[in-house]
Amino acid sequence: MTSTEAWNQLGDYLRETQLLGSIQSTLYWDQNTSMPPAGSTWRGEQLSYLAKSLHARQTSTEYELLLKTAKDEFEKDCSSKELNQLVISQRARNIQLLEKDLKRQKSLDPDLVVSLAIAKADGYNLWQAAKEKSDFKYFSSALKNLVSLRKEEANQLSENRSCWETLAQPYEPDLTIKRLKELFKPLEKCLPELIDKVKRVRKPISKSWDLSEKSQEQLCQKLLNSWSRNSKNTSIARSPHPFSITLGPDDFRITTRVVPGQPFSCFLATAHEWGHSLYEQGLPSSSHQWFAWPLGQATSMGVHESQSLFWENRVARSFSFSERYWKDFVHEGAPLSCAKDLWHEMNPLAPGLNRVEADELSYGLHIVIRTELEIAMLEDDLDVEDLPGEWNKKYENLLGVIPLNDSEGCLQDVHWSEGAFGYFPSYLLGHLISAQLSEAMSNSLRESGVKGVDPISTCIRDGNESILLSWLRKQVHCHGRQMNAEELVQLVTGKELSSEFFLKYLEKKLELLTSNS
């Protein structure tokens, strides 16, 4: 056997698994962008069939043997010093990740996998019905079932972690509740204070104008063109909920939506989803060679979100950006008389009931609430029936707003309806990571000679966002799953992940926004 034979065989196997996985993603894309509603039953069957085939591939004895043989070959090659250090570290990490994934997949009883798939589909359907009727009780038994099945899942996985932590691993590897509390505690204290401060000095902006669909499309197009879009390998479509997805090593898609009465919704969603896509486009997976290997993938949802938030909040909602774009908005019909007008309109800063529409200031509290509630449902004694009441209580305490009904309360997000517990914190971790990476980026740009108090703003004002992208590609994107989110932040910024950078960023932005209003 030559030195890489077993390794290549493993690669071929993973490649076929990825073919199947990306077919599944294509059906998901179609479901959200093209499929007529009545197609959902058959689509559900197609997706279950693929999920079953994928699970079978990922747990087959053939695969297990291929992985073991490749590992043996690798260890022999290491001791005979046939491989260089870079290849050794890459292969070692790939094996580690593959073994971890295999262990997870194999721990699960196939019956549970099927029950979960059905419970997710039911959960989603009942959640939709409940949301339409704005009545949690139509959804509560489905949610109870999902909670109990996912508890059983954590039980079968029997990792050395709590139930919630076990379920959070696929989104945020190595995360613990203890660490999360450390990171979120300063936010729980400071964010409500900042919100109060804003309330005192700034009156909310009420928008009374809108832009046509065509105008919004044109502004999005201009944005993407100046943010390195290559139409040869990217597609854009509409969907009820914007998302970003990668369907092949050279096939990147994002969706957006137009919300009547919200002239920035489409624009900012485009910026956000494009940020996700830019991360995917910079990963090692964007080559055929790496597309099948875990090392090629995104390391965590928190890091993913940090990239979308960087482009949405740090760039598109910045004053420099408004300086560059306000005339384009005016050209499309927006009643703005200067850059400051656009900037203020893009940064409304008023706490509301809805997470997706939340401003940078209150967003964190929406996440803190959800995180506490899902941990309580899975690990403490929060009864699913009591969720709406608890939800409303927390909203009143932390944000000072009370949902009028379940639809604008605990039924607003899709995540729990699909049994996705442990996902929400990634959104807030993304804010923290983005802020901390931005500070490192600023320092690094300053060192390389970019002028101005804030070198990132200088690049934005001059239309040089490609400099920011290059930095992210080189410092962040290229690592894939070589390290977890916290290790990545430590490597890039030289400091442990902390909430201080995010709070500092918010305080500074508020100061500027309120002194100008």
Extract the tokens encoding 1: 């056997």
- Residues composing the chain: 517
349 three-class SS: coil
Task: Please report how close the Cβ of residue 43 comes to a second copy at its closest, in angstroms.
Answer: 7
Could you say which residues in the range 226-245 bind a second copy, by CB under 8 A?
A: 230-235, 237
Q: DSSP H helical segments within 158-212, as ranges? A: 163-168, 177-201
CB of 102 to a second copy, least distance (A): 22
On whether the CB atoms of residues 373 and 132 are closer than 8 A, the answer is no
Q: What share of the chain is helix, strand, coil (3-state, %, to 5)?
A: 70, 5, 25
Nearer to a second copy, 43 or 93 (CB): 43
With CB under 8 A as the contact rule, the residue among 5, 8, 12, 34 that binds a second copy is 34
Among 9, 43, 133, 414, binds a second copy (CB under 8 A): 43
Task: State both tokens at 282.
Answer: 């910079």
Locate tokens 């209580």: which residue? 393
Spatial neighbors of 516 by CB under 8 A, at least 6 apart, are 340, 344
Q: Which is nearer to a second copy, 220 or 346 (CB)?
A: 220
Q: Is 9 in the site for a second copy (CB under 8 A)?
A: no
Tell me if 33 contacts a second copy by CB under 8 A.
yes
Shortest gap between Cβ of 219 and a second copy (angstroms)? Answer: 19
Tokens of 147: 């909670």
Q: Which is nearer to a second copy, 291 or 395 (CB)?
A: 291
Count residues contacting a second copy (CB under 8 A)? 39
Task: By CB under 8 A, tell whether 81 contacts a second copy.
Answer: no
For the chain, how long is the longest CA-to-CA vector?
74
Shortest CB 462 distance to a second copy, Å:
29
Closest CA to 343 of 365, 324, 369, 362: 324
Amino acid at 312: E
Paired sense of beta strands 234-238 and 251-256, if any: parallel
Backbone angles phi, psi at 494, to 5 degrees: 75, 5
Amino acid at 507: E
Q: Choose the binding region for a second copy from 249-257, 308-316, 379-387, 447-455 (rule: CB under 8 A).
A: 249-257
**CA dihedral sign, ordered 302, 303, 306, 311:** negative
Give the Cα separation of 271 and 316 in Å (integer): 7
Q: Give whichever of 21 and 170 is closer to a second copy, judged by the CB atom.
A: 21
Return the range that interacts with a second copy (CB under 8 A); candidates 33-41, 138-146, 379-387, 469-477.
33-41
The reply to whether 213 sits near a second copy by the rule CB under 8 A is no
Binding mask 152-181 for a second copy (x = CB under 8 A): ------------------------------
Contacts to a second copy from residues 49-78, by CB under 8 A: 49-50
Nearer to a second copy, 92 or 237 (CB): 237
Closest CB to a second copy among 289 and 516?
289
Q: Which residues contact a second copy (rule: CB under 8 A)?
A: 16, 19-20, 22-23, 26-27, 29-30, 33-39, 41-43, 45-46, 49-50, 230-235, 237, 247-253, 288, 291
